[in-house]
Amino acid sequence: MKYTEEIVRATKDPSILIDILRTGDNEYLCILAVVNRNCPLEILVEILRRGTDNYSQYAARNPNCPPEILVEVLERGKKDLVSYWASRNPNCPIEAKINWMMKTGRILKEDPSKHIIEYEKIKEDDFQDLKDLL
């Protein structure tokens, strides 16, 4: 059967999405199939484990993507679009996201000593200035 963009966007039938992804004839329709909320979880997992095609970054965006596979993607420690979108997925555990960001240099280890308030430098005038503002 020939599928159209409208059919792929609107379908709730996972077998149609699987058919589109298995044949892979039309890259745009495959992308629409993989971001469809009705795309079966096992297909999303399969695509993300493979991680070698254009569909992987779109699979990582799917809001139904299981947290376990998102963690698996981030643990690879790659600085690619698949990992980026896995980290942006609402199902991604925050610990996995932070670890990936530290591994790839997106964030550095925080230095708590940078946040010490030097109370002795606070002057009474500062308090008065604050009171005047209020």
* CB within 8 Å of 84: residues ≥ 6 apart: 57
Give the least confident one: 37-46, 48-57, 83-92. 48-57
Compute the average pLDDT of residues 51-69. Answer: 90
Quote the CA–CA distance of 122 and 117 in Å, as a whole number. Answer: 9
Q: What percent of the chain has pLDDT over 70?
A: 79
The predicted pLDDT at position 25 comes to 84
Tens of pLDDT, residues 74-108:
999 999 999 999 999 999 999 999 999 989 988 87
Measured at the alpha carbon of residue 125, what is the angle toward residues 119 and 130, in degrees to the nearest 5? 85
Mean pLDDT of 33-38: 95
Average predicted confidence (pLDDT) for the chain: 86
Nearest CA among 60, 115, 58, 114 for reference residue 92: 60
